Amino acid sequence: MAEMLTDKSYREFSIILAESPLIQKFCIISRIDGTLRVPTKSTLHRFSKLCSKPFIREQIAILNRYATDPSNPLGFLNPLTTEDIFVDATCLKAKIHFPVDWVLMKDCMLTIIKAILVIRKHGLRYRIKAPEIFISEMNALCMSMTSVSRNRRGRKEQKKVFRKLRKLANVIRKHGQRYADLLIAQREEKTDLSEAQANCILERINKMLETLPVAIEQAQSRIISGKLIDNEDKLISVYHDNVNVIKRGKAGGQVEFGNTLFIAEQSDGIIIDWQLYKTDVKEVQATKESVIRMTEEFEYEINSVTGDRGCYSKSNEAFLEEKNIYSGLCPRNPQEFAERMQEKKFQKLQKRRAQTEGRIGIFKNIILDGSLYEKDFEDKQEKVAWAVLIHNLWCLARLPVKEAET
């Protein structure tokens, strides 16, 4: 948690931890492994994996139950309730570059070449020309792909350059496979690499060997055949898994690349439910799933649910009515919205809903620093769970409590 709050990398946080007794005390590092040694960046990363996402979610649920218990065991001046729930969704962007087809091919080829360089550095060599030459040829072709698209005859020239890039990609892929096989066969005899180090290199190179044909096929379909690819079938990043094209329709960008995050907060700003989706999920569906979790799994007593137009649907209205929950979901029809705004309760809930936009901004841009740099989806879910715990502790710590009786 301290690493996320300081917004530092594990390496930078290790340095801060070494020079700050206050942070050492906060992190209780002496109780983790029984020593007072300041952990290195690798050890900090290992510590961050000690708690699984289900365990963190369970701890958040316990904390929220204490915070919203009618008996007020935490002694807040104004006891918290879950009567009014405010929901909204956002896109947590992945730290990737814009997914240009030939640049995705370049990412795969460059990773394979770098893996080859590491293998050659440790003593295994196969008769090929210097890998640095491949990098130079690859960069030249990618720059040509960019420049020819601006010419009048760019379409024809672009196809010509792409065919050269595709040929180079196939050559690099074959060399990568040969070096992977060589490493498997001769690691113990001719290198000083441990089994774990070799597996790390092989995992990296094998992933690129599997991904490169997909990147080539996608680029060929769009550049040579001129066919459009559905968003669900697009390769967005060769490094990050489960990155989606999310249509937001905002002034800053029509689409964003990442994962949908749905959040439900109570009136004091405590996040009581959240879900990071692997695929692009509409807010209508996410709203219904969230209400089911809150009422059936966590057994919160909810009187109203408020959200923007994206959460509204006739089916959700009927669902909330069946649950005997007041619907504060904003209707899509302007006339219906004007009629609902005549209700004082609806008007009050809609006015409070504006704070949920700020809540998402704080959560996403301050605690999570605007994006997720984790590559695996499970790691992204774990990062979001830690962020929810940090956010709720931060909010609860700022609430006034009753004065102790003397």
pLDDT tens across 154-197, in order?
778 888 899 999 999 999 999 999 999 999 998 888 888 889 89
pLDDT of 152 strictly over 70: no
Which of 251, 254, 239, 124 is closest to 176 using CA atoms? 124
Work out the number of other CB atoms within 10 angstroms of the CB of residue 120.
15
**Does residue 243 contact residue 237 with C-beta atoms inside 8 Å?**
yes
User: What number is the average pLDDT over the span 210-216?
Assistant: 93
Residue 80, judged by CB atoms within 10 A of its CB (0-12, 13-18, 19+), counts as buried
User: What number is the average pLDDT over the span 83-104?
Assistant: 89
For residue 255, the SS3 value is strand
- What are the residues whose beta carbons fall under 8 Å from the beta carbon of 369, sequence distance 6 or more? 7
156 vs 158: CA distance, rounded Å:
5
Model confidence, pTM: 0.82
The token pair that represents 365 in the structure block: 């841009």
pLDDT of 33 strictly over 60: no
Query: At 6, is the pLDDT very low, low, confident or very high (cuts 50, 70, 90)?
Result: low
Query: At 26, is the pLDDT very low, low, confident or very high (cuts 50, 70, 90)?
Result: low
For residue 128, the SS3 value is coil
Query: At 50, is the pLDDT very low, low, confident or very high (cuts 50, 70, 90)?
Result: confident
**Does residue 171 contact residue 139 with C-beta atoms inside 8 Å?**
no
The pLDDT assigned to 110 comes to: 95
Q: Where in the chain are the domains?
A: 1-49, 51-96+241-398, 101-233
- Residues above pLDDT 90, as percent of the chain: 44
Which of 55, 87, 49 is closest to 360 using CA atoms? 87
- Strands 84-94 and 244-250, sheet pairing: unpaired
Among 3.40.640.10, 3.30.420.10, 1.10.10.10, 3.40.50.1000, what is the CATH number of 51-96+241-398? Answer: 3.30.420.10
User: What number is the average pLDDT over the span 273-281?
Assistant: 90
User: What number is the average pLDDT over the span 85-97?
Assistant: 89
47 vs 37: CA distance, rounded Å:
14
DSSP state, 232? G
Chain mean pLDDT for the chain: 86
